[in-house]
Structure 1
């Protein structure tokens, strides 16, 4: 039987085969239905024309295909159930999905050379992450996993969700944190942990449909539709593995020095060509801009308190006057709050202006006082607002800003400074 392109396969076709390349393969997941749970794995295939089709295997068929359908290998497949997608799709997309059953035939297509990424599989370089942070965009990335931080539990969802941060890097030498949540941590995370112990070699991963966040300056996080491919056997991954082995001493030193939370490495100063206009940043739109670089002269809100008490884990502020214990909503723990610096600014360029706030270390960097010094001064009856305003007013600041979290927006400030640099300071500029 002559293999057919994916676009010619439909639910009325009695028999068919097709040669496809596996583009995505999830780890084994469990769905909890009303009466019983089911295990399943999801796949994405593509033919030589780049037409993609989703496929799924349930229960006993998951074990039956163990060792098959390896990402980026090619297979001749036939006999799967072809079902129409219930939701309407765009006219140019394939209208069906496949269900792998006991009658499905799967045969690997031998290739003499290691496969490579198909041309339509786009990887975002680490140096482009800042242009997509806190936006609606999902990206694909490939990197070497250098280190795994301790596991933790998130209390923002019920039931408790296990999460873990991994330090990943590519040839840009910009290590960054990738957070795996829930099933991805228990599935792909375990596979990563099994192969990360050796210093001689580290696993390469491809993260599919992850988001760029401004947590920890710049970081990546998974979402419900994300997929993690661990140690894909492709030419691009092999080259990345070789690069790691040639640079492993410097790369592991970068982990010890915590380069993955260094703003100078993750978000160095930029040239004027990379700046966004303040009017564009503040303009109301259906889909707000992500994080952006802006520049302008600053003025300090002289009436705004320069510190607050916050949860030591999620940094959520509260209105307690003294350092008393609180029950944090996010972590469901009785905690002792601690002082955290803040400074509210107006940044003006031409006729446009924007209200921003700097928090924590970024506020301390701007105002020249630690949160402890600010709280002690206030307890001693010393007000530092005027001194800070006199030192900062009129200076030109280049800052990377993003929309504030809800807890900050309630205080009337819509944008938070992720990091900033005074214009004129002797810091290399990133073009």
Structure 2
């Protein structure tokens, strides 16, 4: 029988451990600025509410990345555990698991109910103005998609980018524009466009607040968008 630990029990350089986790965040694949290395980050949580950052590189992304889905539950065994240097810490997390092709990743058949971690606190749209054009502060939101607009090509810094805007409302029924950029257009944007008539619910993390025809929201490279998450709060908002 597998000896299961909690996330908090797993320390740097520890070997021979196993844990049940829920994928809370799955970020897009990114590339290092000074090398061809590709990486993808995740955030896991457990039933005790502990969280940890996970990262995989290059070949591991191809083999393991597609196995992990947001709000699904998994058995993880024997990832490399290391501390994150302070200047690279995000999400308030100081420990990182490195998943390689040798790491065991098994989806569990008993998924149970999904809940949001305490760290997710959606902001009131009425308070967005206080975060406008901040370079360091981001916001988390939960909202319903009301309408979608076409994809627009834009030249930025001599490079072509793509943006797609969506009209969203939150539980306060305050309308706001959300702009998706580049990779988000190709992935979440396409999904939202195809299903906008069903008014999907979004959970978004680490959005920036911008002044676009008033106060609006926009993705960053490290933003996370989950469409119609299987959590009670999202279902309540949609109803």
TM-score (norm 2): 0.83
Number of the residue aligned with 2:7 = 6
Give the drift of 1:63: 4.0
Post-superposition CA distance 1:215-272 (Å, at most 9, x none): 2222111222212122222112222232xxxxxxxxxxxxxxxxxxxxxxxxxxxxxx
> Which has the bigger relative contact order, CA under 8 A and spacing at least 6?
2
Distance 1:188 1:210 in 2: 14
1:270-349 counterparts in 2 under 5 A? none
Quickly say closer, same or farther: Cα 1:203–1:12, change in 2 above 3 A.
same
Distance 1:32 1:137 in 2: 23
Number of the residue aligned with 1:31 = 31
Post-superposition CA distance 1:353-385 (Å, at most 9, x none): xxxxxxxxxxxxxxxxxxxxxxxxxxxxxxxxx
Quickly say closer, same or farther: Cα 1:168–1:62, change in 2 above 3 A.
same
Distance 2:201 2:102 in 1: 34
Number of the residue aligned with 1:119 = 118
1:23-422 counterparts in 2 under 5 A? 23-27=24-28, 29-31=29-31, 36=36, 38=38, 40-65=39-64, 68-87=67-86, 95-109=94-108, 110-112=110-112, 114-135=113-134, 136-196=136-196, 199=197, 201-242=198-239
Quickly say closer, same or farther: Cα 1:65–1:238, change in 2 above 3 A.
farther
| Residue ranges of structure 1 left out of the alignment (5+ in a row) | 243-431
SS at match of 1:150: strand
Distance 1:116 1:96 in 2: 22
Structure 1 or 2: more strand by fraction: 2
Distance 2:131 2:93 in 1: 28
The answer to whether the Cα contact below 8 Å between 2:43 and 2:52 also exists between their aligned partners in 1 is yes
Post-superposition CA distance 1:191-217 (Å, at most 9, x none): 322322xx3x12221111112223222
SS at match of 2:129: helix
Distance 2:30 2:127 in 1: 35
Give the drift of 1:16: 0.7
| Residue ranges of structure 2 left out of the alignment (5+ in a row) | none
Distance 1:41 1:177 in 2: 27
The answer to whether the Cα contact below 8 Å between 2:13 and 2:80 also exists between their aligned partners in 1 is no
Distance 1:89 1:148 in 2: 35
Number of the residue aligned with 1:368 = none
SS at match of 2:5: coil
Distance 2:33 2:117 in 1: 36
The answer to whether the Cα contact below 8 Å between 1:7 and 1:94 also exists between their aligned partners in 2 is no
Distance 2:208 2:22 in 1: 25
Number of the residue aligned with 1:21 = 22
Give the drift of 1:142: 1.2
The answer to whether the Cα contact below 8 Å between 1:184 and 1:227 also exists between their aligned partners in 2 is no
Post-superposition CA distance 1:127-171 (Å, at most 9, x none): 332343344431100111222212222323232211111111122
Distance 2:158 2:50 in 1: 38
Distance 1:97 1:11 in 2: 8
Distance 1:35 1:213 in 2: 31
Distance 1:88 1:7 in 2: 22
Distance 1:32 1:121 in 2: 27
Quickly say closer, same or farther: Cα 1:77–1:35, change in 2 above 3 A.
closer
